[in-house]
Structure 1
Amino acid sequence: MPKNRKGRGWRQPWVRAWIVQGLVLLLLGVAIAYFGANLVQNLQRLQLPFGFDFLWSRSGPSIGETLIEYSPTDNIVRAFGVGLLNTLRVVILGMVLATFVGILVGMARLSENWLVRKLATIYVETLRNFPLLLQLLFWYLAIFLKLPTFAKRIQLPGPIYLSKNGVALPWFQTHSSTVIWMVALGLGGAIAFFLWRFLRRQQIEQGTSTLSGLWPLLLLISLVVLVGIFVGRPPFDLNLPQVRNNLTVSGGLQLTAEFSALLLGLTLYTAAFIAEIVRAGITSVSKGQWEAATALGLKPTLAMRFVVFPQALRLIVPPLTSQYLNLAKNSSLAVAIGYPDIYYVASASLEDTGRSVEIVLILMAIYLTISLLISLVMNVYNRSIQLVER
């Protein structure tokens, strides 16, 4: 019998896939062009201007919390930049903290300790079933705004100050030698990583111990000691918050009440969903994997770290991506407690300029870009941890 031949030209699956995707993009472009032209015609018929030249007008909204220098005399483009940075600040920190809390709570739900397991279950079931807006209002109105004024502030070890103004805590401050530290640690970390990979490969191929983790660690420790002797100071200085006239504070890291309430609410709410994803991912791993790890003499913590969790991660990442996207979109609720995110800036600019169509389009483009970037990064990571079949 003649051997089966692979399809040629358009019969190949990848060619057909590209053709279909091209046609879909073409139809999407035609639809966007049609609706865009229809929108412009309707605006012209209503004698409403359409364009983005207003973004350069110097009538930006007032923004109380900024990561870069800004004043209301700046143009609206800079105001959108300030709002975008505020949004990204909450989203990135929220994803990191929610992941950390979610993993801990998810593992706690599988704990053999009855009290820990029940507390984790109560946390998940309670926070998942309360609207996020109510939780944000609770943290802001019932917690942070009920704190004493700064003159009667609550002082915790650190020092950490709690008041209606927010939270002030110690933080790291760069100095003239920080760049030297960063370059040295970056190069040293890269060398240690490649050394670890080389020793790990040798250990797998030869079946003998090469101390793959010890030598890179000793290399990094030696590098830190040498750079410390050469520079004569640590990579960062500790910047403590300083009280001035018993009314204000300077230095350290200062978080406003609005930002703190938003970050806390988003973190705890999203972590409840992530905890359930982690629990489901771990329980989906076959019980035989636990038994095999135990038979090899691994302790439960090591079995979880090296055997169970890496397998569960392949099932955790896809729904985890959805929770990251939800967190990014839920950050728009910041306007309810007065945090100046991108939605707040867009709403204020809309009131000042009246250019509703253009501002809504900008807002849609910004949130779409953030969501696509999150999806791209998570999809790349998801592909890197999937099993590769021969």
Structure 2
Amino acid sequence: MSRTKGSVWRDVRFWRFAGQAIAVVVVILVLSYFLGNLTRNLRQLGIQFGFNFLRSQAGFGIGDRPIPYQPSDSYTQALLVGLVNSLRVIVTGIALATVVGVTAGIARLSDNWLVRNLSLVYVETLRNTPLLLQLFFWYFAVFFSLPPVDAAVRWFGVSLSKSGVQLPGGLQLSSEFSALLLGLSIYTGTFIAEVVRGAIQSVPQGQWEAGRSLGLKPAQLMRLVVFPQALRAMIPPLANQYLNLAKNSSLAIAIGYPDVYAVASTTFNQTGRAVEVMVLICATYLTISLVISLLLNLFNRSVQIVER
């Protein structure tokens, strides 16, 4: 029996399990303390924790309304409008940032001196400039300098004015949405460009030489041989950049775009429900981040080589 007990205390697996169990207990105790402290403070202020206020009338307008909304609607509907606005920016921004980043990343490795150095300037300049300043630039320096609607600039079927961008087909994008989308996409594209460049350079040189020996042109070599292999090393860091874009979208409040964070801030100012609103905001961004991570993990598994 003594040897059995001694072997348990020397078992690495036992100590790993014990360490994890202790960590879980500590986390539960800390959360219980803060929750109890929060409950006591709210009780002293005469506030009861709850989300019943979401059924009350919001009473404020929202500029960008992708779904029906009136100031007489509830806070729930207002927050739903903000959520849809956030998802519009995040989904479109991820797609646009990917195109910009992949293009710039490949251009960084171009044999053309001009293309290579233009990409270098783009990446190093915008990557080292605060995103908030870039959003201000796009909103105030670009869109505010455009003429009014009646004197809009038209270019290949696209109409540009102070009110935003009108695309063929009658699709209207507000200036706030356009500035936020461009700022997020171009900024995130600089980091994606470096991810793409590093992944391409990680492909063994023998693969390049094998493609050239088959007579493939540079574009064919990149598309058929190099890029598919680089994609396997590219996806994990790409997921981080997509998550950063999703969280950086909360800077929309700085230029007046009514995303979920901006609408939630207005809700908090009117209702005084700071804790409940913060819980909703955290849950929203956590859910969005988990969904992005899940989708990228599934895609990552689909492109990995299965060993037999």
Identity of aligned residues (%): 56
Give the whole-Å Cα distance in 2 for the aligned partners of 1:328 and 1:79: 20
Q: Report the Cα offset of residue 61 of structure 1.
A: 3.0
What is residue 79 of structure 1 aligned with on the other side? 78
Query: Aligned to 1:146, what secondary structure does the other structure show?
Result: coil
1:351 aligns with 2:280: no
Unaligned runs of 5+ in 2: 1-10
1:61 aligns with 2:56: no
**1:61-85 deviation per Cα after TM superposition (whole angstroms, max 9, x unaligned):** 3211111100111110111100000
Amino acid at match of 1:165: S
Query: CA contact under 8 A between 1:52 and 1:358: conserved in structure 2?
Result: yes
Amino acid at match of 2:187: Y
Counterpart of 1:333 (choices 247, 251, 272) is 251
Give the whole-Å Cα distance in 1 for the aligned partners of 2:43 and 2:272: 16
Identify the structure with bigger relative contact order (alpha carbons < 8 Å, sequence gap 6+). 1
What is residue 237 of structure 2 aligned with on the other side? 319
**1:156-205 deviation per Cα after TM superposition (whole angstroms, max 9, x unaligned):** 232x211111111212xxxxxxxxxxxxxxxxxxxxxxxxxxxxxxxxxx
Query: Aligned to 1:74, what secondary structure does the other structure show?
Result: coil
Amino acid at match of 1:116: V
Q: Report the Cα offset of residue 307 of structure 1.
A: 1.6
Q: Report the Cα offset of residue 27 of structure 1.
A: 6.2
Query: Aligned to 1:289, what secondary structure does the other structure show?
Result: helix
What is residue 49 of structure 2 aligned with on the other side? 50
Query: CA contact under 8 A between 1:58 and 1:76: conserved in structure 2?
Result: yes
Amino acid at match of 1:139: W
Give the whole-Å Cα distance in 2 for the aligned partners of 1:277 and 1:95: 15
Amino acid at match of 1:67: P
Give the whole-Å Cα distance in 2 for the aligned partners of 1:24 and 1:101: 43
What is residue 141 of structure 2 aligned with on the other side? 142
1:128 aligns with 2:127: yes
What is residue 296 of structure 2 aligned with on the other side? 378
Give the whole-Å Cα distance in 2 for the aligned partners of 1:369 and 1:17: 30
| Matched length | 296
Counterpart of 1:300 (choices 218, 234, 238) is 218
Amino acid at match of 1:66: R
Give the whole-Å Cα distance in 1 for the aligned partners of 2:114 and 2:24: 54
CA spacing shift, 1:40–1:374, aligned 2, 3 Å: same
Amino acid at match of 2:249: S
Q: Report the Cα offset of residue 97 of structure 1.
A: 0.4
Map of 1:1-390 to 2, 5 A cutoff? 28=27, 31-158=30-157, 160-171=158-169, 252-390=170-308
Q: Report the Cα offset of residue 25 of structure 1.
A: 6.4
Q: Report the Cα offset of residue 23 of structure 1.
A: 8.2
Give the whole-Å Cα distance in 2 for the aligned partners of 1:280 and 1:345: 39
Query: CA contact under 8 A between 2:138 and 2:183: conserved in structure 1?
Result: yes
Q: Report the Cα offset of residue 129 of structure 1.
A: 0.6
Give the whole-Å Cα distance in 2 for the aligned partners of 1:284 and 1:389: 20
What is residue 5 of structure 2 aligned with on the other side? none
Amino acid at match of 2:94: M
Q: Report the Cα offset of residue 288 of structure 1.
A: 0.9
More divergent stretch after superposition (309-318 vs 118-127):
309-318
Q: Report the Cα offset of residue 60 of structure 1.
A: 4.3
Amino acid at match of 1:110: L
Runs of 4+ in 1 over 3 A off after TM superposition: 16-34
Give the TM-score normalised by structure 2: 0.90
Give the whole-Å Cα distance in 2 for the aligned partners of 1:334 and 1:341: 7
More divergent stretch after superposition (318-327 vs 289-298):
289-298
Amino acid at match of 1:349: T
Amino acid at match of 2:183: G
CA spacing shift, 1:66–1:364, aligned 2, 3 Å: same
Give the TM-score normalised by structure 1: 0.72
Q: Report the Cα offset of residue 34 of structure 1.
A: 4.3
Amino acid at match of 2:121: I
Query: CA contact under 8 A between 2:147 and 2:161: conserved in structure 1?
Result: yes
Unaligned runs of 5+ in 1: 1-10, 172-251
